Structure 1
């Protein structure tokens, strides 16, 4: 079966079932819910490094020699 005949067959079948948009409306709604949830998870990690400033300062003091020897960090 060629691609054109598959498209024609799908178009013919969509006319019989009624409104194809009504059947597929849940996909974008589900996508919005999933991406919204992932956005909230991403925002929950905002400023995590600032929560433990004393640990970051202690690490920077401990590894100050390592940072100065590497030059610009690459």
Structure 2
């Protein structure tokens, strides 16, 4: 069975700002594109869950409706990130 840490590492790519956008579904989509879309949607849910599970309850309540992990991450980084 996969550990939480291993699972988090596998979906961390979802936070990449340069992640290519998969276009909305069409009837002409290839099987490969459908698989990529399904994997990205699943990984988006997992990544959001990993981020939300680390938050205090008060922050969790604020972010639980946000579905995009990059949006959650960017907001948290802007609010609580450190300046080097």
With normalisation by structure 2, the TM-score equals: 0.30
Q: Which has the higher helix share?
A: 1
The structure with the larger Rg is: 1
With normalisation by structure 1, the TM-score equals: 0.34
